[in-house]
Homo-oligomer: A and B are copies of this chain.
């Protein structure tokens, strides 16, 4: 098996591209895929500062590394979710990665800064753990990007993640979610721009990238995610991909080319109806945003602003 680019012996093959690469050319391939995603979808404006949400896993650390190697001004953000040993370990990986390179890492701690952790919040709000966690991360990421003056927030969602989310959205024909599913969510009042520069790279490519680039990452999956629907969708797509390589990429990019536009109005209608949360100012269709409602339930305490207002 020879490298497609330089004809030296290859170390990895990518079936959906019908190509194999040596170590150096594989890193070049990953850089090119990220560069192309950023260019094709106009993710970053010249000179813009990027905040990369990092979990200590292969995707987010790989993304941060690639963005820096491509010359972007990218800093990290780690959010402690209070998921026992798993959070302790993932935080260590993120901190060691940043420290070894001397790159700035912002930190927010859900228990320390907001008074609750994901397991407690999910139980108190009777939400699935992944739902309470996703909601909290989206809120904290957005708030941190805006508060610290970053023009754009980048997350490590890869092709496998996005294809699995898309499958879940079409299985239920969630038209609002379909309208919002895009590698770039533009900035709006109260929202930083969100971008997913890894959409052209699969899970296996990210793992290989980290190994070949000597990036030490947390290999364990979050213990609370075991058996969730999203992993079921990933497995289903993996089974289909095994038989027909390229299915996941065709599914996601076919949607972006020929499907997404048809649902965009549904998402815009939802965004147009948003006001500001009376506690934190985040965009919300109601009085309190979903994160503040979760926080009230999880802590059993009135929120600071609401407490001041009480007679």
The contact string, 1 if C-beta is below 8 Å from chain B, for chain A 221-246, is 00000000100110111011001100
Closest to A228 in B: B243
Q: How many residues of A contact B (CB 8 A)?
A: 25
Determine chain A's interface SS by DSSP, over half rule.
helix
Q: Is the CB of B232 within 8 A of A172?
A: no
Q: Is the CB of B171 within 8 A of A257?
A: no
The winner among A244, A257, A259 for most chain B CB atoms within 10 A is A259
| A265 → B minimal CB distance (Å) | 10
Q: Is the CB of B173 within 8 A of A258?
A: yes
Q: Is the CB of B175 within 8 A of A258?
A: yes
Tell me whether A255 is interfacial, beta carbon within 8 Å: yes
Q: How far is the CA of A233 from the CA of B154 in the complex (A)?
A: 33
Q: Is the CB of B243 within 8 A of A232?
A: yes
State which residues 193-246 of A face B: CB under 8 Å. Answer: 229, 232-233, 235-237, 239-240, 243-244
**Contact (A173, B236) CB under 8 Å given A229-B243, A262-B263:** no
**Contact (A247, B173) CB under 8 Å given A232-B239, A233-B240, A236-B240:** no
Tell me whether A250 is interfacial, beta carbon within 8 Å: yes
Q: Is the CB of B232 within 8 A of A240?
A: yes
Q: Is the CB of B257 within 8 A of A173?
A: yes
Q: Is the CB of A172 within 8 A of B250?
A: yes
A–B complex contacts, Cβ < 8 Å, 9 sampled: A170-B259, A171-B251, A172-B250, A173-B258, A229-B244, A232-B243, A232-B244, A236-B236, A236-B239
Considering the complex of A and B, which 3 residue pairs feature the smallest CB-CB distances, nearest first?
A: A173-B254, A262-B262, A236-B236
